[in-house]
């Protein structure tokens, strides 16, 4: 059994220095030291992280002059790791997360060593009280956050990605900036035959938040959903998926301003180029459906 080499990537906008310090300290306490750590300053300077903490492995700090968004920043880290050429799996962590257990990275290594077709491992996200928000469980319905297994998606806050898988599927959709980038990547991985595993024993402690805290949430969420289905779904499923989510949005959204922004983003998604269209195969649709989440909900 070949043991894969693990790297850790963290993207930050520089507005959470205490949280980033705590996260990196939790990485330093892992019983498996990562071979490399890449820290990306997304539109900010981060000179202190290269020197302040005693971190294991090779530490690289990359500073971008502009905020590239979540997927764009992660792509910067992936590009740097490819330059080194010695990493098999990258663990990407939100900058306000925390690895509570010391065995997270060693467990990631075990999972990838045991399954050569394992593409993505999703962590369990829970707050400091151990509570997992419903939106952080990658299963449809009232799912148990402690139930692991193969799924159709993963959480962006804490996860691991196979570098071999990314070489086949491509990286994060940088144009999305924020929202639905995980689904785009997960659908590409599933269509290429890679496994997506939800492993609840891998815990990332993360403060309880609402995605609507971001000013661009409603507009970008709607725009990216339209882009997502234009890029990835067979033509007959596009109106079904969008129709379902128009109804869901009307039922869930209590803010008139939020609805206006959402429908503005929806129109933007229809008008603006969505990027490369590479729809999933029908057998992938069936596979996702058997796993409990057909790609229309």
Cα(100)–Cα(110) distance, integer angstroms: 18
In the chain, how many H helices and how many E strands?
Answer: 9, 9
At residue 216, the pLDDT reads 83
Question: pLDDT by residue (tens digit) across 23-52?
Answer: 999 999 999 999 999 999 999 988 665 445
pTM of the model: 0.94
Asked if residue 23 lies in contact with residue 95, where contact means CB atoms within 8 angstroms, the answer is yes
* Residue partners of 55: CB distance under 8 A and separation at least 6: 24, 27, 28, 37
Cα(141)–Cα(293) distance, integer angstroms: 9
Task: Provide the 10 A C-beta neighbour count for residue 230.
Answer: 19
Asked if residue 59 lies in contact with residue 98, where contact means CB atoms within 8 angstroms, the answer is no
Strand, helix or coil at 251?
A: helix
- Mean pLDDT per 10-residue section of the chain, whose length is 297 residues: 90 92 94 95 77 72 95 98 96 97 98 97 94 86 87 96 98 96 98 98 88 72 97 98 95 90 96 96 97 92
210 half-sphere exposure, CB direction, 13 A CA radius: 6
Question: pLDDT by residue (tens digit) across 188-228?
Answer: 999 999 999 999 999 999 998 766 555 588 999 999 999 99
At residue 38, the pLDDT reads 95
**Nearest one of 6, 43, 14, 38 to 24, comparing CA atoms:** 38
* Residue partners of 42: CB distance under 8 A and separation at least 6: 11, 12, 13, 14, 64, 67, 68, 69, 72, 73
Cα(144)–Cα(150) distance, integer angstroms: 14
Strand, helix or coil at 118?
A: strand
Cα(197)–Cα(204) distance, integer angstroms: 15
Residue 44 is classified by DSSP as S
Q: Could you tell me the two tokens for 243?
A: 């129709």
At residue 210, the pLDDT reads 61
Q: Could you tell me the two tokens for 256?
A: 């008139």
Strand, helix or coil at 135?
A: helix
At residue 45, the pLDDT reads 87
At residue 232, the pLDDT reads 98
Q: Could you tell me the two tokens for 30?
A: 């892992």
Q: Cite the residue boundaries of each domain of the chain with CATH code 3.90.550.10.
A: 6-209
Q: Could you tell me the two tokens for 282?
A: 């029908």
At residue 211, the pLDDT reads 62
Cα(272)–Cα(293) distance, integer angstroms: 28
At residue 212, the pLDDT reads 54
Phi-psi region of 85 (alpha: psi -120 to 50; beta: other; left: phi over 0): left
CA distances from 192 to 89, 166, 176, 199 (A): 18, 10, 21, 21
For residue 101, with 0-12 CB atoms within 10 Å meaning exposed, 13-18 middle and 19 or more buried, which class applies? middle
Strand, helix or coil at 293?
A: coil
Cα(154)–Cα(15) distance, integer angstroms: 25
Asked if the 6-209 domain carries CATH number 3.90.550.10, the reply is: yes
């Amino acid at each position: 059994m070949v043991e894969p080499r693990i790297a850790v990537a963290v993207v930050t906008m520089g507005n959470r220095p205490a949280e980033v310090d705590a996260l990196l300290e939790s990485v330093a306490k892992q019983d498996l030291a990562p071979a490399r750590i890449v820290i990306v300053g997304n539109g900010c300077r981060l000179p202190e992280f290269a020197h302040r903490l005693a971190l294991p492995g090779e530490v690289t700090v990359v500073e971008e002059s502009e905020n590239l968004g979540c997927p764009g920043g992660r792509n910067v880290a992936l590009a740097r790791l490819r330059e080194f050429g010695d990493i098999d799996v990258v663990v990407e962590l939100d900058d306000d997360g925390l690895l509570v257990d010391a065995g997270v990275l060693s467990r990631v290594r075990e999972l990838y060593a045991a399954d050569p077709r394992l593409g993505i491992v999703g962590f369990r996200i829970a707050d400091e009280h151990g509570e997992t928000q419903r939106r952080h469980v990658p299963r449809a319905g009232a799912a148990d956050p402690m139930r692991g297994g193969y799924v159709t998606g993963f959480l962006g806050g804490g996860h691991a990605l196979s570098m071999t898988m990314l070489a086949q599927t491509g990286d994060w959709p940088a144009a999305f900036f924020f929202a639905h980038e995980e689904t785009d990547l997960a659908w590409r991985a599933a269509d290429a035959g890679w496994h997506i595993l939800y492993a609840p024993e891998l815990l990332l402690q993360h403060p309880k938040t609402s995605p609507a805290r971001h000013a661009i949430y409603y507009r970008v969420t709607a725009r990216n959903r339209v882009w997502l289905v234009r890029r990835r779904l067979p033509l007959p499923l596009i109106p079904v998926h969008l129709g379902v989510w128009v109804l869901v949005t009307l039922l869930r959204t209590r803010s008139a301003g939020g609805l206006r922004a959402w429908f503005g983003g929806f129109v933007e998604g229809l008008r603006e180029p969505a990027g490369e269209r590479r729809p999933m195969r029908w057998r992938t649709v069936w596979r996702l459906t058997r796993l409990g989440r057909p790609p229309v909900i």
